[in-house]
C-alpha cells in the first residue's frame, strides 16, 4: 500500500484476468472475499513498497516469488548524508522501493505474507483491522511509520479491510525478517 503518487506497479497482472467491469481479480481466487482483497491490494499499489523488485527494461517490477514479503532482510541500504534529510529536503527510497529514509528515520516495508515468524501469520483479522484504523503495529504496538499511508487505508470499510486480510493470508508464506524502523542517528551508527 504505497504512498499516493508512487509508481503504480501491478504485481498481480501476470496472475489475473480482466472482468467485465475492468476490475482485476486473481484467476485462482475462488473465494469472492479473497478476490476483492486482491483487487484492493492491486489498486492500492501495495506491491510498490511491500514487494522486492527486479529491474527490467521497463523499470522495476515486483519479484513474483517474493510478492508482498517486504524489504529483503539481506539487503543493505547505502549510506546517506543526514544533513540531506529533513523538512524541505529529501526523502530517499531504496532502488527497489522497499525502504525509505526521511525526517522520521529509516523505514523498511513489512512482510505481509502469512509466514508465522516473519509476516502476518500470527495476526488475527481484528489485529489487522485495528492496525489499519489506528496506525499502530498489530493494532496496539509501535506506530506504523511513513511512508505507509495507513490514514488513507483507514478509510476503507471493515469489509474491505477484512477482504485485504483474507487475500494476504491466502498468499504463499515467505520467510523474511524485516528489520524494524530506526532513527536517523541509530542507523548512522550502524553504518560506521
Nearest to 134 by CA among 126, 123, 143: 143
For the chain, domains (ranges, CATH) are 13-76+110-179 (1.10.760)
Q: pLDDT tens-digit profile of 4-38?
A: 333 223 333 333 334 444 434 444 578 999 999 99
Q: pLDDT tens-digit profile of 143-191?
A: 999 999 999 999 999 999 999 999 999 999 999 999 999 998 888 887 7
d(CA 171, CA 150): 21
Strands (E), the chain: 16-18, 24-26, 53-56, 59-62, 92-93, 99-102, 105-108
pTM, full prediction: 0.82
Grid cell at residue 131: 492496525
Amino acid at each position: 500500500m504505497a504512498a499516493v503518487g508512487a509508481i503504480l506497479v501491478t504485481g498481480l497482472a501476470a496472475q489475473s484476468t480482466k472482468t467485465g467491469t475492468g476490475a482485476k481479480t486473481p484467476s485462482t481466487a475462488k473465494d469472492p472475499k479473497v478476490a476483492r482483497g486482491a483487487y484492493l491490494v492491486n489498486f492500492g499499489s501495495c506491491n510498490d513498497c511491500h514487494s522486492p523488485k527486479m529491474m527490467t527494461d521497463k523499470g522495476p517490477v515486483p519479484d513474483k516469488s517474493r510478492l508482498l514479503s517486504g524489504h529483503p532482510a539481506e539487503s543493505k541500504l547505502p549510506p546517506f548524508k543526514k544533513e540531506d534529510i529533513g523538512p524541505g529536503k529529501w526523502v530517499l527510497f531504496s532502488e527497489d522501493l522497499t525502504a525509505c529514509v526521511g525526517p522520521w528515520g529509516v523505514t523498511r516495508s513489512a512482510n505481509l505474507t502469512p509466514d508465522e515468524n516473519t509476516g502476518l501469520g500470527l495476526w488475527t483479522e481484528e489485529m489487522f483491522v485495528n492496525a489499519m484504523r489506528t496506525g499502530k503495529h498489530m493494532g496496539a504496538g509501535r506506530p506504523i511509520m511513513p511512508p505507509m499511508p495507513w490514514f488513507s487505508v483507514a478509510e476503507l470499510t471493515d469489509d474491505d479491510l477484512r477482504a485485504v486480510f483474507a487475500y494476504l493470508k491466502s498468499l504463499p508464506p515467505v520467510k523474511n525478517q524485516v528489520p524494524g524502523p530506526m532513527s536517523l542517528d541509530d542507523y548512522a551508527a550502524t553504518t560506521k
